[in-house]
Structure 1
Amino acid sequence: MEDKNTNGRRNFLDKGLKAGILGAVAAGALKSLNACGNTKNEETIEVMSTDGTLMRVPADMVEEVPGLKDDNYKVREGYPNRKFVMVVDLARCKNAKKCISSCNKAHFVTGENAWLKVYKMQDSPETPPYWQPTLCMHCDKPPCVKVCPVDATFKRRDGLVLIDNDRCIGCRFCMAACPYSTRVFNWEEPAQGETTEISLHLEHMSHSPDYAGLPSQMGTVDKCDFCPHMIDNNELPHCVTACPNGVFYFGDAYEDTVTNGEETFRLKELLKEKAGYRLMEDFGTEPSVYYLPPADRLVEFEEGLENYTPYQSVEKPE
């Protein structure tokens, strides 16, 4: 059952968002297909039209979506006509920390250098505490980009803010400029970390700002990257698929669609209905991460797992 759910959540562009994000099937065509009906033995899938209508259509009528990259793709430019965003539902978070361990494993991160952290929050002594996952906000107006003297950190046209480890000189100006304190510094090589021993056989791979193929280099800055290597394969970021409670929603603001792999929503409607907000909006950074307040909680608040292991060894890739 776990494998089945994971596969369904990862193939988010191939299934639930084919029409919503990619516009693969026109709304009128979908309505016509829906009206015609299907035979009982014909395989169908659920798609979302451009007006937000969910319906089932014959599987063979939906074109398979290849990888997003083409010959004109450039890592520092990203994808045209896209704006990747994330929504975090605080009412669902119980600090299971599966998001952290999955992210750490995928990006060769150790210990306190985790790109995603979950903080215990309490707005006042009279209000109950809640858990708040915190990651890079991928701001539309990122102060970290402005202060970098070597153009190592940059913002793409699809909204992702990335770091080129090969260009980074470790000055940490970006860390000082980030109001969210989501960046970390690699004081040592990952294999020399105090918490674990890493087994790596990746000599055939090379560093790239949009691919988690190698551990980051000592003396450079790191942060959440929204898993562009997963987006390239039409899959959700690791934190989204790993969360057992569906806390994280990921999608495209231009298509007004976000999903956690099991549920799909219109972004504007979700934010309006749940009173969504962004952290420190007064700073003018215009974050791409939205939060839904911890109201009508789906899980009880409890302290996090004490036996959490911050890193798992990485096997040799196929």
Structure 2
Amino acid sequence: MEENSKKSRRKFLDRGLKIGVAGVLGGIGLSKLSAKFSSDEKASTGETMELMTTDGTIVEVDTSEVMEVSHDHHYSMDYNVREGIPNRKFVMVVDLAKCKNALKCQTSCNKNHYITGDNAWIKVYKMQESPDTAPYWMPTTCQHCDKPACVTVCPVDATFKREDGLVLIDNERCIGCRFCMAACPYSTRVFNWGDPGQEVTLNLDLTDYEPTPEYAGKPSKMGTVDKCDFCPHMVKQGELPHCVTACPNGVFYFGDKYEDTVTNGEETVRLSKLLKDKAGYRLLESLGTEPSVYYLPPVDRLVEFEDGLEFYKEFESVEKPTEE
């Protein structure tokens, strides 16, 4: 049962069609849609699923009909890595009301990207504006901006933005100048000052290893910059990023802005409605970077805030605070 649950959490694009497929159809009327399907010779499966039209109407159609309009989510291996997946705009939503600092997101990200120590791509901070206000946990990661300053300043085109919204780093091009780190207003990038040593810590065989802009779950090189990449090697297979599937509290939602659909693996919702109903916002909006990561305020929390040492468990090089 646990294995089936994990598999269901990983597949997000198929469930996203329940809400987003109407957008893909480009506003086709229900009568025209019905006529199109009736003209096809495909046999009915006898199974139906619910779809939401652009005006919010829920309709039931045969699953064979949905296949006619769905995307091919297993993209060709030879697609242009620097251009990205066509007709996609990937976004993430972080629900601060659900975060308990479990750090499962960080642990999974570290494991699957072969990251160790301070170079973790996901950091979780305790936030509290003043002693009179309530504390909360805030996961931070690369914001994958639509207008990224890091791309603008890179002198060798190592940092680049894809059409599907992902901002990536080509370690083969990176010269370690760290201009991108200085330009990033969110301080989410890390630098490999020395040999990361993942091949020793994680027993890796890197004899024939060549890094790629997609990272494909392999370690980076010494003297290069690292950051969250939204797991493009997973997204290409129609699966969720590792942080989303690993979080036990459903903090992270991931999906396609064009389809107006995001999911945390357990529930699939309309992006626009989620942001409107829960007052979603983006960090440092006034800078004009237009991030692809949205936050939901830490209100109506399901659990009490607990302060502890969990944040430090994944950082062997960080000194743990001593109790007085």
TM-score by length of 1: 0.85
CA distance in structure 1 between the partners assigned to 2:271 and 2:223 by the alignment: 38
Shift of 1:274: 0.5
1:183 aligns with 2:189: yes
Task: Say which of 140, 160, 164 aligns to 2:170.
Answer: 164
Measured after TM superposition, the shift of residue 222 of structure 1 is 0.2
Look up the match of 1:266. 270
Offset at residue 30 of structure 1 (A): 11
- Contact residue 15 and residue 46 of structure 1 kept, 8 A: no
Q: Secondary structure at the match of 1:265?
A: strand
Q: What one-letter code is carried by the residue in structure 1 that aligns with 2:128?
A: Q
Measured against aligned partners, the alpha-carbon deviations of 1:240-277 in whole angstroms (never above 9, x if no partner) come to: 11111110111111221111121112111111111111
Could you tell me whether the CA contact under 8 Å between 1:108 and 1:190 is conserved in 2?
Answer: no
Asked whether 1:232 is paired with 2:213, we answer no
In structure 2, C-alpha distance between the alignment counterparts of 1:71 and 1:106, rounded to whole Å: 20
Q: Is the 8 A contact 2:121 2:227 kept in 1?
A: yes
Partner of 1:126: 132
Deviation at 1:126, TM superposition (A): 1.3
Larger Rg: 2
Indicate which of 223, 232, 236 corresponds to 1:219: 223
Instruction: Tell me the secondary structure at the aligned position of residue 14 of structure 1.
Output: helix
Distance change in 2, residues 1:206/1:17 (3 Å): farther
Higher mean Cα deviation, 279-288 or 20-29?
20-29
Q: Summarize the Cα distance change of 1:47–1:167 in structure 2 as closer, same or farther, 3 Å threshold.
A: same
Native 8 Å contact 2:18 2:50 kept in 1:
no
**Shift in CA distance, 30/18, structure 1 to aligned 2, threshold 3 Å:** farther
Matches within 5 A, 1:30-179: 43-45=47-49, 47-53=51-57, 57-63=61-67, 66-70=72-76, 73-179=79-185
Q: Which residue pairs with 2:321 in the alignment?
A: none
Aligned-partner SS, 2:237? coil
User: Is the 1:137–1:289 contact (alpha carbons within 8 Å) kept by the matching residues of 2?
Assistant: yes
User: Aligned partners of 1:142 and 1:260: how far apart in 2?
Assistant: 26
The residue aligned with 1:308 is 313
Q: Does 1:15 align with 2:18?
A: no
Task: State how many pairs are aligned.
Answer: 302
Distance 1:101 1:258, change over 3 A: same
Distance 1:212 1:310, change over 3 A: farther
Find the counterpart in structure 2 of residue 316 from structure 1: none
% same residue? 67
Q: Partner of 1:73: helix, strand, or coil?
A: coil
* 1:2 aligned residue: 2
SS of alignment partner, residue 141 of structure 1: coil
Name the CA shift for 1:54/1:133 in 2 (closer, same or farther; >3 Å).
farther
Partner of 2:254, secondary structure, is strand
RMSD: 2.9
1:45 Cα deviation (Å)?
A: 4.7
Say yes or no: does 1:275 pair with 2:279: yes
CA contact (8 A) 1:100 1:310 kept: no
1:285-300 equivalences in 2 (<5 Å): 285-300=289-304
Deviations 1:80-112 (A, max 9, x none): 322111100000000110000011111110011
Structure 2 residue identity aligned to 1:105 = K
Give the letter for the 1:4 counterpart. Answer: N
Tell me, which stretches of 5 or more residues in structure 1 are unaligned?
A: 34-40, 312-318
**Cα deviation, residue 308, structure 1:** 3.4
Q: Distance in 1 between matches of 2:249 and 2:195?
A: 33
Q: Tell me: CA distance 1:70–1:30, structure 2 relative to 1, closer, same or farther (3 Å).
A: farther
Structure (1/2) with the larger helix percentage: 2
Determine the C-alpha separation between the residues in 1 that align with 2:242 and 2:191.
21
Contact 1:98–1:239 under 8 Å retained in 2: yes
What is the CA–CA distance in structure 1 between the aligned matches of 2:315 and 2:168, rounded to whole Å?
Answer: 23
Q: Distance in 2 between matches of 1:192 and 1:242?
A: 21
TM-score by length of 2: 0.83
Partners of 1:162 and 1:155 in 2: CA distance: 6
Aligned partner of 1:217: which letter?
K
Change (3 A) 1:109 1:27: farther
Separation in 2, partners of 1:230, 1:29: 37
Aligned-partner SS, 2:94: strand
Q: What CA distance in whole angstroms lies between the structure 1 residues aligned with 2:78 and 2:25?
A: 21
- TM superposition shift of 1:20: 1.1
Secondary structure of the 1:17 match is: helix
CA deviation string 1:44-98 (max 9, x = no partner): 5555445455566544444286444237721111123221111000000001100
Letter in 2 for 1:28: L
